Chain A
Amino acid sequence: MEIQIDIDDKIPLFTQVMEQIKHAVSDGALVAGDPLPSIRQLASDLEINNKTVAKAYRLLERDNIIQTKGYRGTFVHPTAIENCTADLNAWVTTELTKAITAFRNADVTDSEIRIAFTDVMNRYETKGT
């Protein structure tokens, strides 16, 4: 099973890696329990930074597509095929749209919304990147 990325594409590299692995799972090319290459191996083969692959793997683990078992390596999650259809980014967009629509209906200006958004983001600790 092969993945392919385009370094000239506007889509971030870590997103391309994530999407490729998700497609491999949803197409059945990767099944639950299949081993995946190490971060260093994949980064070396794709000639990209280790941190880019590390970020992709971290987000895939968050989404329960893969699971890391310490020194034994990284494997496809047992429920990966179901989790592939869940799209966190789409959910964020949906919720934000609802909130922004509600604010505009209450005549809150766009700059007030932006200031409040930034204030909330800065006030609460962020878990990841």
Chain B
Amino acid sequence: MTIVDILFYAIFISQIFLISYHYPKKTYERNLYVLRKYPAEAYPKLYRHSKFADPGKAVHRTIRRYLYANITIAVLGLGLLTAMAASDYAPRDIKENEQIMFILLFFMVQTLPYMLLEISTHNWLKNMRNLAKNSTRKADLSPRKLFDFVPPLYLGAAILAFVIWAIYYLYNKGFTSPWDWQTYSTIVFMTSINIVFISLGYKFLRGKKLDPHQSYKDQRQLIKTTLRVFVFASILMSVQLVVFDAINQNGWDMYEPIAMSIYFQVVIIFGVGQILRMFKIEDIDFDVYKEDAWLV
């Protein structure tokens, strides 16, 4: 085994640990903390919309399943690594596309529980909004402007990263068209993803609260966290594509699976990790979920 092979195994183990154990465990503990400290009896507005007789237990079941699903995927990942080691798999020997597909597919499996939890949270908030509808409506008179939540430097960095990627990519392809379909589709993909980030960011910034009872202070903190996640995701995407282009141009294919695994881990650290760091559960105002709570 070469140093590259050992590095690949080490980084892939890190991917399994971070994405399928570390962050799911933190998410589980966070939700458990809420269930224990803010039960349905004292904070009915947090649970009232649930269709279950004991909403606390139902939520606990959901997050437990989320944790077990992640642990199962982690065990599967370790099993795959063991099989690879036993069959003397070496990244340097395998054709380029097979390596990438393996890492990419495994990452997609790892993100499945995250997506399902996100869908569950979305439905939870939607039911909360439907139940909270009444003729009285409230709004904060403080304006919400983009630079209140994201420093101009971060936005500038995201734009610069995109421009650098575009220039480097087209330089390698030749600046004059016609290009092949892959070039067009890459440009369309990158542009579309950034448009999606901008659209979602605008919706978070100027749209109404997803949680109808959330305090204005918490709403602003969530907006700040979410917008920064989008900006970092955009920067990371641009950087990742430049790295992969450089790898392809210089014939460093054996490093591609390592680079891809590192990229996915960084995405999670600056995505889920950022949300857990910036939107701490201990700082959230849960008094708004009491029966007689008024927004402050």
A interface residues with partner B (beta carbon < 8 Å): 1-9, 21, 24, 30, 35-38, 40-42, 44-48, 73
Contact of A38 with B136 in the complex, beta carbons under 8 Å: no
Residue-by-residue, is B131-143 near A (CB-CB < 8 Å gives 1, otherwise 0)?
0000111111111
Contacts of B141 in A (CB 8 A): 1-3, 21, 24, 30, 36-37, 42
**Complex alpha-carbon distance, A41 and B209, angstroms:** 11
A41 to chain B: closest residue by CB: B206
**Complex alpha-carbon distance, A86 and B156, angstroms:** 47
Chain B residues 137 to 181 lying within 8 A of chain A, measured CB to CB, are: 137-145
Contact of A44 with B140 in the complex, beta carbons under 8 Å: no
Q: List 25 A-B contacts (CB under 8 A).
A: A1-B140, A1-B141, A1-B142, A2-B139, A2-B140, A3-B139, A4-B137, A6-B135, A6-B136, A7-B135, A35-B142, A35-B143, A37-B141, A38-B143, A40-B206, A41-B143, A41-B144, A41-B206, A44-B206, A44-B207, A45-B139, A45-B208, A45-B209, A46-B137, A47-B208
- Which of B136, B143, B144, B207 is most buried by chain A, counting CB atoms within 10 A of its CB? B143
Contact of B135 with A37 in the complex, beta carbons under 8 Å: no
Contacts of B136 in A (CB 8 A): 4-6
Choose from A6, A7, A9, A46 the contact partner of B139 (Cβ within 8 Å): A46
Contact of A47 with B142 in the complex, beta carbons under 8 Å: no
**Complex alpha-carbon distance, A44 and B83, angstroms:** 55
- B7 close to chain A: CB less than 8 A: no
Contacts of A36 in B (CB 8 A): 141, 143
- B112 close to chain A: CB less than 8 A: no
If A1-B142, A38-B143, A41-B206 touch, whether A47 touches B295 (CB-CB below 8 Å) is no
- Which of B140, B141, B208, B295 is most buried by chain A, counting CB atoms within 10 A of its CB? B141
B294 to chain A: closest residue by CB: A2
A74 to chain B: closest residue by CB: B143
Main secondary structure of the interface of B (DSSP, over half): loop
Choose from B138, B206, B207, B209 the contact partner of A2 (Cβ within 8 Å): B138
Choose from B139, B207, B295 the contact partner of A37 (Cβ within 8 Å): B139
Contact of B137 with A7 in the complex, beta carbons under 8 Å: yes
Known: A44-B207, A45-B209. 13 other contacts (CB 8 A): A1-B141, A2-B140, A3-B141, A4-B137, A5-B137, A9-B135, A24-B141, A37-B139, A37-B142, A38-B206, A44-B208, A46-B138, A47-B208
Contacts of B208 in A (CB 8 A): 44-45, 47
Contacts of A6 in B (CB 8 A): 135-137
Contact of B135 with A42 in the complex, beta carbons under 8 Å: no
**Complex alpha-carbon distance, A35 and B145, angstroms:** 11
Least Cβ–Cβ distance between A14 and chain B, in angstroms: 14
Contacts of B209 in A (CB 8 A): 45
**Complex alpha-carbon distance, A6 and B143, angstroms:** 22
Contact of B206 with A47 in the complex, beta carbons under 8 Å: no
Residue-by-residue, is B225-268 near A (CB-CB < 8 Å gives 1, otherwise 0)?
00000000000000000000000000000000000000000000
Least Cβ–Cβ distance between A31 and chain B, in angstroms: 12
**Complex alpha-carbon distance, A95 and B222, angstroms:** 52
Contacts of A44 in B (CB 8 A): 206-208
Contacts of B206 in A (CB 8 A): 38, 40-41, 44
Contacts of A21 in B (CB 8 A): 141
**Complex alpha-carbon distance, A21 and B141, angstroms:** 9
A1 to chain B: closest residue by CB: B141
Contacts of B137 in A (CB 8 A): 4-7, 45-48
If A2-B295, A7-B137, A46-B137 touch, whether A73 touches B207 (CB-CB below 8 Å) is no
